Amino acid sequence: MLLDANALQPGARIATDVCVVGAGAAGITLARTLAGHGIDVALLESGGMDFEPATQKLADVVNREPQYPFDGLRLRYFGGSTNHWGGWCRPFDATDFLTRSWVSNSGWPITRADLDPYYPEALSILDIPPRLHGASLEQLADDIEHKPSVFGADHRDFQSLVWLQSAPTRMRAKYRDEIRANPRIHCFLHANAMELIADANGSHVLGLKVRTLAGRESTCSAKIYVLCAGGIENARLLLLSDTVVAGGIGNQHDLVGRYLMEHTSTSSPCWLVLAPPTGSERFQEEDVCERSRSSRLPGVKADMFGFAARPAFQRTHELLACSINAAGGPVTDREAMPEAIRDLLGASSSPAAAIPGPRAYRIFVLAEHVPNPNSRVSLGTERDALGQRKTVVDLQFQEQDRRSLRDSLQFFAQALGASGRGRVQINNGEPLTYAGGGGHDMGTTRMADDPRHGVTDRHGKVHGVDNLFLAGSSLFSTSGFANPTLTLVALTLRVADRLKDVVRTAGG
């Protein structure tokens, strides 16, 4: 059911089995899943059902790197950032979970195989068919007929990518009525989590202080507490919970808030030109577009195709994961193109022509961000309207991040040119400028089996605290290049699978 924390009696106590903080992709997924197992859940949401400027202001940060803005990227009302996400989805690759010698602090405590059982349900939650055209995700990725391929199926160094497309799912619209009608879920709107209160040893959470912007205070008392507030706010709440535990709960090794990751991109103009077909050939990207439009491959992103270096090539050249994508279809406005691209296209390049000429596409890059302990969120001295210390965000990219993105583009350009199937122009030959990849905050409470290397264990439980868990992208140990939503939902389902057994054995 849906309730307003402003209507609670002053000093009210909310008693439940599991207290979940944050009603975004992770929190709504977790609450629904646990309720389906007969577990009572209090779901605390800072905002209401609609955007409210005063509540959104609580998400403000002190940003030490203004070229990577955070304002407006994280939405603070029911449904969270699914209220404005673009819906791009891809599972993480198996190599993303591995320890790689050239990527410091890489390696998850779980493998891709540990998430595979949860991806189908995650796809369903995000309204993407779990099986596409009768093929699993892995089969689809290996099936050259169903995806674009400039190089062909057996190119030694580069592979084509399949991107999936959620509607995009707005969890507010999709799950509002279900949660309103579910007697096991008590969703409190305008309920801001202020501080977790631990016992004297800091090993058990006794309660969670809650306050509304109107000043109404209450306490949530649960067997288990789960933070699902996102890559920045999960870390912030742990750091704010320092009344009993100096430095914040779970921060005994000074790791909370560290390893903040985004995705690396470039704001420089880069272009892909595909050569015209010869004989009976067709432009390879048309297959995936036509199949998607005819619903034979529902859920495939029809206006985007991409490429990535194969794992062996990454290892040889010490590259980070990187996707090089053509998005939005061929560009037809010649005035928007650099002169060199117009020259490559020649006089005739209309996509509608019976025998089309070369086609030009803008390139969009999403690349992995190396886990760096100095890239972090911490608490500053400025305070928000609730009197809470604001988060200081120091998002750092290193030379390795920039070098790998640059080299990946150059290697791809060389391979495409050598194939005779196209050309790539990288920023008119000028040095690249770099940008963040879209508000993908990850890694600030990373998973690791060893508490000296991570905040939580492989199940999302905070090291040293027996009843505190986390879910969402803050758990990610590395970022890969794929957008995080699909994997964070799958990871949340895995956390829920663990929690349903933990709750049943927890004390009252």
State the total domains in the chain: 2
- Residue 451: asked if its preceding bond is cis (omega within 30°), the reply is no
- Pair 332, 303 in one domain: yes
- Pair 311, 245 in one domain: no
- Pair 82, 8 in one domain: yes
Name the one residue in this structure whose structure tokens are 């770099």.
434
pLDDT at 64: 85
**What is the full per-residue pLDDT of the chain (508 aa) written as tens digits?**
999 999 999 999 999 999 999 999 999 999 999 999 999 999 999 999 999 999 999 999 998 887 777 778 899 999 999 999 999 999 999 999 999 999 999 999 999 999 999 999 999 999 987 665 455 555 555 544 444 456 656 689 998 888 888 989 999 999 999 999 999 999 999 999 999 999 999 999 999 999 999 999 999 999 999 999 999 999 999 999 999 999 999 999 999 999 999 999 999 999 998 876 554 444 444 443 444 343 345 677 767 788 999 999 999 999 999 999 988 778 888 888 988 898 888 865 555 554 557 889 999 999 999 999 999 999 999 999 999 999 999 999 999 999 999 999 999 999 999 988 889 999 988 899 988 877 899 999 999 999 999 999 999 999 999 999 999 999 999 999 999 999 999 999 999 999 999 998 876 5
- Pair 12, 35 in one domain: yes
- Pair 40, 148 in one domain: no
Choosing from 416, 436, 456, the residue where a domain stops is 436
- Pair 161, 218 in one domain: no
- Pair 103, 210 in one domain: yes
Residue 25 lies in a domain: yes
Start-to-end C-alpha separation, the chain: 23
Residue 385 lies in a domain: no
pTM equals: 0.93
Q: How far is CA 223 from the centre of its chain?
A: 28
Residue 6 lies in a domain: yes
Count CA atoms within 13 Å of residue 346 on its CB side. 10
- Pair 25, 78 in one domain: yes
- In whole angstroms, give the CA distance from residue 398 to residue 404: 10
- Pair 431, 331 in one domain: yes
Residue-number span of the structural domain to which 279 is assigned: 134-165+264-367+398-436
- In whole angstroms, give the CA distance from residue 273 to residue 363: 10
Q: What CATH number is attached to the domain comprising 178?
A: 3.50.50.60
Residue 361 lies in a domain: yes
DSSP assignment string, 178-235 = HHHH-TTEEEEET-EEEEEEE-TTSSSEEEEEEE-TT--EEEEEEEEEEE-SHHHHHH
- Pair 140, 282 in one domain: yes
- In whole angstroms, give the CA distance from residue 69 to residue 4: 31
Q: In what order do the strands lie in the sheet with 376-383?
A: 61-63, 389-394, 376-383
- Pair 43, 151 in one domain: no
Per the CB < 8 A criterion, the answer to whether 306 and 409 are in contact is: no
Residue 374 lies in a domain: no
Name the one residue in this structure whose structure tokens are 């990577």.
68
Residue 183 lies in a domain: yes
Residue 393 lies in a domain: no
Residue 383 lies in a domain: no
pLDDT at 276: 66
Choosing from 410, 436, 462, the residue where a domain stops is 436
- Pair 428, 500 in one domain: no
- In whole angstroms, give the CA distance from residue 368 to residue 215: 42
Count CA atoms within 13 Å of residue 411 on its CB side. 24
Count CB-CB contacts under 10 A for residue 296. Answer: 13
With a CB cutoff of 8 Å and minimum separation 6, the contacts of 487 are 91, 92, 115, 122, 473, 476, 480
Choosing from 436, 462, 486, the residue where a domain stops is 436
